[in-house]
């Protein structure tokens, strides 16, 4: 049974009417409203209501934020790592203390179910915990007597001002992939969350401020392309971390690197889940349902295409269709929680529906149809039910494009070789999974499939904070990935110091 959402989820004025939530920026340690600029609506996708207006900041506001971060950098860089770690110990406790409030905000502005909001927030907390270990993570190497009387050591030093540009689909988790580790490494930071979900970011930074964040170390701006472009070209920005669609990831990478920035840009995906004839049916159906329909399919690690090998389709599809039809869809901002919530906007809902229609027109067969879902108590919500499209061919539009909705494609292949070949034709390379009881098949799959994250009897092989999130090909642009030790390397630069001292025979060239 789904978890229940705590009360106090809707902000209303004294007359009971809906009240817009403030959406300030945070620059140099000060919260302020931005006027005189365009705005974009923030929706409660469960209701189709506007709950906030986010300011579309321009280059002038971005410049203030970057300058504040640059001014704060020298003092923060010189703060001992143990002291930076203590800030995040305090922050972790505050996030725990305000956990229900964070989850309510995610449910309200994104549409995740309460259980999904909790799960994603916990994954964010894991990144805070990882950042708390920064004194050990910044260890360098030493070698005494590299040559006679000569010692050598390495050290990891921060870059300066770093930037995080985050997507709508994980309002709490993805920012926590970025700024805790960046700050723990000694950098300062400017966060630009998705204009569709800015309220969770405001709350997360309020808590960090309460934990004792020094002024200017972390700054928050809002906006669209103008705001992003200003961050990409600002001369004082040293590094940019991005999560979003592949076309935008490519743009971020090319523009940022052209302007001398270090960039890690995580893009979209088309993740394949291979189901072998010997797969355990019950466990496979449960995992595949969660992978395809969890978070309404709005995640880059969604299992969006199932490849049924041999007789696997006959064994698994009947139960999978039944599971999809039994998924309860509804609003996530009320105490009674559904199994699946809405997608983020009406425009995105329409895009998902159009891709399903395109698959049907190109010869695929819809065997579980969520397109006609109606929610009586939320008639204006942006809902799509769980949908399964069978007999998908690789040349179809729905097979090539990332749907980013609760839609599972089913392809049928004769053997594992054919399944791996189809998966490897994808331009993306985030994740791939296999369900089997054969060690031989699992080993063959994990060695040959072209994806950065591989699952064996797991539908969503997303990594935890201590491991890097290793997308390949058009799922990632850059060299060093988010999370783990690669994340530490991304947010630092290595210095090598070679030392030799003369006098009293020390360091003198040895003579026979």
Q: For the chain, how far is it from start to end, CA to CA, in angstroms?
A: 81
**CB within 8 Å of 67: residues ≥ 6 apart:** 236
One-character DSSP codes across 217-276: SEEE---SHHHHHHHHH-TTEEEEEEES-HHHHHHHHHHHHHTT-EEEEE----EEEEE-
CA 30 to mean position of chain CA atoms: 27
- By CB neighbour count within 10 A (0-12 exposed, 13-18 middle, 19+ buried), where does 432 fall? buried
Beta-bridged to residue 39, according to DSSP, are 55
Which one of 57, 132, 162, 300 is the catalytic residue? Answer: 300
The rounded distance, in Å, linking the Cα atoms of 184 and 25 is: 22
Phi/psi for 373 (5° steps) reads -65, 135
The 3-state DSSP class for residue 336 equals coil
The Cα–Cα gap between 429 and 423 comes to 9
| Catalytic status, residue 300 | yes
Residues 393, 411 contacting (CB under 8 angstroms): yes
Give the C-alpha separation, 501 to 151, whole Å: 10
Interior/surface letters 134-165, b for 16+ CB within 10 angstroms, e for the rest? beebbeeeeeeeeeebebbeeebebbbbbbbb
The catalytic residues are 300
């Amino acid at each position: 049974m789904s978890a229940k959402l705590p009360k106090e989820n809707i902000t209303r004025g004294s007359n009971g009417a809906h009240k817009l939530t403030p959406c300030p920026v945070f620059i140099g340690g000060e919260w302020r409203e931005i006027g005189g600029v365009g705005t974009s609506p923030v929706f409660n996708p469960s209701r189709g209501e506007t709950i906030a207006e986010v300011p579309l900041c321009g280059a002038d506001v971005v410049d203030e934020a970057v300058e504040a971060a640059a001014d704060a950098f020298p003092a923060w860089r010189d703060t001992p790592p143990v002291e930076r770690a203590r800030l995040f110990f305090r922050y972790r406790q505050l996030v725990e203390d305000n956990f229900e409030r964070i989850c309510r905000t995610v449910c309200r502005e994104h549409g995740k179910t309460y259980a999904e909001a909790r799960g994603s927030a916990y994954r964010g907390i894991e990144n805070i915990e990882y950042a708390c270990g920064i004194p050990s993570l910044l260890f360098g190497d030493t070698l005494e007597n590299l040559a006679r009387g000569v010692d050598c050591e390495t050290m990891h030093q921060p870059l300066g001002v770093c930037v995080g540009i985050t997507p709508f689909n994980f309002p709490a988790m993805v920012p926590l992939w970025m700024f805790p580790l960046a700050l723990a490494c000694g950098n300062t930071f400017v966060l630009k969350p998705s204009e569709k979900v800015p309220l969770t970011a405001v709350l997360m930074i309020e808590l960090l401020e309460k934990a004792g964040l020094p002024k200017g170390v972390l700054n928050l701006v809002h906006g669209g392309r103008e705001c992003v472009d200003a961050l990409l070209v600002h001369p004082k920005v040293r590094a940019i971390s991005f999560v979003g669609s592949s076309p935008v990831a490519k743009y971020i990478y090319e523009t940022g690197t052209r302007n001398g920035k270090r960039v890690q840009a995580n893009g979209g995906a088309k993740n394949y889940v291979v189901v072998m004839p010997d797969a355990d049916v019950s466990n496979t159906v449960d995992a595949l349902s969660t992978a395809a329909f969890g978070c309404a399919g709005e995640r880059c690690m969604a299992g969006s295409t199932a490849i049924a090998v041999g007789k696997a389709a006959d064994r698994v599809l009947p139960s999978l269709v039944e599971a999809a039809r039994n998924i309860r869809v509804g609003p996530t901002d009320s105490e009674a929680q559904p199994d699946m919530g809405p997608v983020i906007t009406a425009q995105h809902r329409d895009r998902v529906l159009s891709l399903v229609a395109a698959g049907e027109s190109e010869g695929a067969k819809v065997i579980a149809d969520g397109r006609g879902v109606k929610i009586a108590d939320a008639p204006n919500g942006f809902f799509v039910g769980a949908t399964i499209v069978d007999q998908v061919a690789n040349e179809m539009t729905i097979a090539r494009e990332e749907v980013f909705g609760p839609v599972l494609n089913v392809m049928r292949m004769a053997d594992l070789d054919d399944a791996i070949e189809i998966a490897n034709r994808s331009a993306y390379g985030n994740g791939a999974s296999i369900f089997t009881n054969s060690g031989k098949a699992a080993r063959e799959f994990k060695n040959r499939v072209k994806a950065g994250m591989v699952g064996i009897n797991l539908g969503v092989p997303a990594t935890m904070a201590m491991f890097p999130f290793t997308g390949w090909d058009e799922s990632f642009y850059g060299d060093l990935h988010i999370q783990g030790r690669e994340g530490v390397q991304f947010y630092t630069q290595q210095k090598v110091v070679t030392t030799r001292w003369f006098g009293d025979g020390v360091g003198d060239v040895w003579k026979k």
